[in-house]
A and B are shown apart, each in its own frame.
Chain A
Amino acid sequence: MSTAPTSTQKPSDDAATAARRPAFFNRQRLASLVVWIAFACYVIPLAIAQPQFISFYNIISILMLISVYALIGFGEGVVVLSGGIDLSVGSIVGLAGVVAAVILTGHSGVGWCLVAIAGGVLAGLLIGAFNGIAVALLNIPSFVATLGTLSIALGVGYVFSAGQQISIDNDPFLNISINAYFGIPIPIYIMFIVFLLLWLVLSKTRFGRYIYAVGGNIQAAFVAGLPIRRVLISAFVISGGLSGLAGVLLAAQITAGIASTGSGYELTAIAAPVIGGISLAGGRGSIAGALFGVILLGTIDNGLTILNVSPFYQHIIRGFIIILAVFLDTIASRRKLV
């Protein structure tokens, strides 16, 4: 993946760009459009050939499918913007589901449902805080720290569940994924609310600006007096918390807590923001990109299923699409290796 582009537009002595106003159709905009156009090239023919693809029911099922991925993708997006990476998100999904399931064992009623939700999210927040402390206070590179917690969270999940699948029969909890308002299930609302909140925070608030600054040039952020450690810890806590929430929603969907359910999700979580134009080197991109990335991946999976493509091939196609999407973005924004 392209981690090098950040410093390609080097300040050089021939920067006559200084006085130019940002045009409406500048390269940046164009670049973000290219992937959308490619996306449309996939969706429109498919919708004509298979009208069920754009039925309300199918769109809802796509959104349902991606709501879990979206939450962890958002969290990952925040961490990547801050210049790090979080590999532990998949394990947190499993752990949070197990925690919720354990809490619900033998307990019914709305009260316990809320406790279970809180417990799952809290588990994610704790792992996230652990990641943040390891990275920001102990100076462990995030790749290594979260590779460690990937294993730790998975192990803790196995211990809590004794390696078993813990089924859930608390009705209010299961209703989270069944109840719908205006035909739209709750997880989809949650996804969009979280998206809106994060978008506001990242683009409109000081904290968001700090995330970009720390990811863009941590030395400069330090000299400017920003609380860089707090910013980094917050990014991991957000990611952990959202992964915990995703785990709770997933447990409600599959009516069980299974420690290994989220294994491998980190790949999608990282791919989504990158497809959406968030730079893996940090400091560049928008959380909307992460949303776009999961929508793209979810739609493609769904489309391939409708077209009856075997799941084995789906993996291969998915991998190529990730590379292709980033490649298109690279061409459009004229990024180069050096």
Chain B
Amino acid sequence: MSEPILECLEIGKRFGTTPVLSRIDLRLQIGRVTALMGENGAGKSTLLNIIAGLIAPTTGELRIDGEPVREFTPSAGQAHGIQIVTQELSLVPHLTVADNIFLGRELTAGSKHVGYLQSRRMFDEAQAAIDAFGVPINARDRVEQISLSYAQIVEIIRAYHRRPRILLLDEPTSSLTSNETQHLFDIVDKLRADGTTVVFTTHKMDEVERMADDIAVLRDGEITLKAAARDLSSAEVVNAMVGRKLAEQRLVLPEVADVPPVLAVEHYATRAADGGADTAFDFAIRPGEIIGLAGIAGAGRTAFLKSVYGLHPARQGRVRLAGADYADRSPSRSLARGLIYIPESRKEAGLVLSQGIAANAILANLGRFSGIAGWLKTSREHDVTREALEALRTKYESTRASVAQLSGGNQQKALVARCLIADDPKVLLLDEPTRGIDVGAKADIYEIIVELARHGVAIVVSSSELPELMTLSHRIAVFKDGFIARTFERDAFQEADIVRTAIGA
């Protein structure tokens, strides 16, 4: 074995009185790719953040090139050649893509103190780096104008462009589509060949098989498994993660009764078609049915769900809910009629980060928890929240703690908990409900979705993970350029066909 470039020696971390990491020993070798695995809240992000210098450990020592690290700041980490792509987006929305790529590393002319920006050069270099990645992003666009997955790519390009010695990627693929994920893997291959050390986290086993040289598994803040990837089976990894044997999941989808649809969308469009072609589409879902929405980034799934829920107006078409025309759509009317939407971006649209977990979980159902004059029945609020969170295996301290303190995947669970708390839901619109959720809890969420369907709830699930849609749905509607290009029945699910429809090949 070669010299370790980085060593964690008995690293421990507590937030207040909550221990999060204890006695972590980990060695990273030059030019090797390590997958850091673990359930939601196991401490993966915390460990990566310590290595990058975003937070300081409570105990233990971090060594780089054999030298102990004394200063835990992002700039000290960068000075050691460490770059991190954090789990949550770390870009400045009002600045351009190029500005963000060069943030903190601006190209300047003149004396060091004046720091006159060479904007032209930065744009050109940024654009070149983007083009090399093969995505249609304009370096002059502001980050707030580009999609979530492109923003994620910008962050990856930023880290890569700085030629790190150690690159930390915290769930880099959670908002990427498979095509972009492929690009990322190619880059990691190149980095590995150049001797860069890479650590990444993911909840997708196939990515681990494709990328990892080494695997380290965290459970409840301790390392439970550390080995070369080729010596491990995925069952062993999963066992080390969850500490129990995961039963082979056999989802039995309920039969869909032949009744009229509860939600029907007719001659619908959310955007103008290219060249004025009529691309309006119809969509209908019956009680107890689960329909998956597939498509590449920008295919229009989110826009469709949002407009049905009433967040955006649709361009044309009408919506019928439970047989009645539903033209004056708005979130509050949708909720009143049992039409619930769980958004894809938990930070921007989903959660009120400063608020407590329970307050967030019941946000859409405050009516049910308030009595005379809107007085909140708080004890019930907490009981119900606890029940829902338990069902999703959420790791949390108290329902009163603020959501910001939850790990990424547990925040997602607090968001998904809303559909368990909802009063008599009729239609659920779930946009990427399992983003960032660990394998164990994913299986639980599938069970819950199927169970809800069995009780007659109609469920629309949008997901960029095709296998997930294929296990879960009665039908899959494939979006392309803003409309439904084709619908597949369960007995005709063919991954290759669906992908081909999605990319329009």
Contact = CB atoms under 8 A, between A and B. Distances in A.
Contact of A204 (B117, B148, B151, B345): B117
Interface stretch (B213-221, B260-268, B298-306, B495-503): B298-306
Nearest to B99: A209
Nearest to B76: A225
A16 B302 CA distance: 13
B54 A222 contact: yes
Interface string A180-214: 00000000000000000000000011111100110
Contacts of A219: 90
A11 interface: yes
B7 interface: no
Contact of B94 (A16, A20, A226, A284): A284
A226 B147 CA distance: 25
Q: Binding site of B, secondary structure by majority: helix, strand, loop or mixed?
A: loop
Given A216-B94, A217-B93, A17 B146 contact: yes
A14 B141 contact: no
Contact of A225 (B74, B99, B108, B302): B74
B74 A220 contact: no
A22 B142 CA distance: 10
B271 interface: yes
Given A12-B303, A14-B482, A18-B138, A206 B106 contact: yes
B138 A213 contact: no
Contacts of B137: 18-19
B348 A223 contact: no
Nearest to A220: B90
Nearest to A16: B298
A37 B77 CA distance: 50
Interface stretch (A2-10, A140-148, A163-171, A290-298): A2-10
A14 B307 CA distance: 12
Interface string B59-94: 000000000000001110110000010100111111
**Residue among A7, A10, A283 with max Cβ neighbours from chain B (10 Å):** A10
A207 B115 contact: yes
B160 to A, nearest CB: 15
A205 B150 contact: no
Given A21-B138, A207-B115, A222-B54, A13 B148 contact: yes
Given A212-B95, A223-B84, A223-B86, A12 B144 contact: no
Interface string B125-153: 00000000000111011011111111100
B192 to A, nearest CB: 24
Contacts of B298: 13-16
A322 interface: no
A72 B297 CA distance: 46
B257 interface: no
Contact of B299 (A13, A19, A207, A222): A13
Given A11-B150, A213-B99, A217-B92, 7 more contacts: A6-B94, A12-B306, A14-B482, A21-B138, A223-B74, A224-B90, A225-B74
CB-CB nearest 9 A-B residue pairs: A206-B115, A225-B75, A15-B147, A216-B92, A225-B74, A224-B104, A13-B302, A223-B90, A220-B90
Interface of B: 54, 73-75, 77-78, 84, 86, 89-95, 99-100, 103-104, 106, 108, 114-117, 136-138, 140-141, 143-151, 270-271, 297-303, 306, 344-345, 348-349, 482
7 contacts: A14-B298, A14-B299, A18-B150, A19-B138, A213-B95, A223-B90, A226-B104
